[in-house]
Amino acid sequence: MSSETFWLPKALPWDAPDHDETTLYAIRALAAGTANEGQQRRAWAYILYVSGIDDMEFRPEDKGGERASAFAGGKRFVGRMLQKLLLPIMTPKPPADPAPSRRRPGQRKGRKST
């Protein structure tokens, strides 16, 4: 993402987000599966901006009040869940080895050894 691009949050969370031509084509390329590295980074940054990840959820009464706050919170939740997938703890772990058998060699199933 270029250093001159800086998107500001909107007063009302349902207002259309700002974008430029470069961002538009980056999102289209991402959706088509043809985005280069720069387009992927720009699209990711824009997705986080649209989700309101850096915006405060609270809206005062004159800016939509409780409903606007809930709407902003829902948007932000989506962004947080996407960001969460980047955490190392979310990386799938390989399946564990099966538990070792507790039976002794030669012991039959269903019988306790004495």
Q: What span, in angstroms and rounded, lies between the C-alpha atoms of 68 and 41?
A: 29
Task: Please report, as a single letter, which amino acid is at residue 23.
Answer: T
Domain boundaries, the chain: 21-90
pLDDT tens-place string over residues 46-69: 999 999 998 888 888 998 899 999
Q: What is the pTM of this model?
A: 0.70
- What was the pLDDT predicted at 1? 45
Tokens of 37: 């590295």
pLDDT bin (cut points 50, 70, 90) of residue 3 is: very low
- What was the pLDDT predicted at 9? 84
pLDDT tens-place string over residues 75-107: 999 999 999 999 988 888 888 776 666 666 666
The CA–CA distances, whole Å, from 46 to 16, 41, 110 equal 13, 9, 61
Which residues, 6 or more positions from 45, have their beta carbon under 8 angstroms from its beta carbon?
Answer: 1
% of the chain surpassing 70 pLDDT: 81
Q: What span, in angstroms and rounded, lies between the C-alpha atoms of 30 and 1?
A: 14
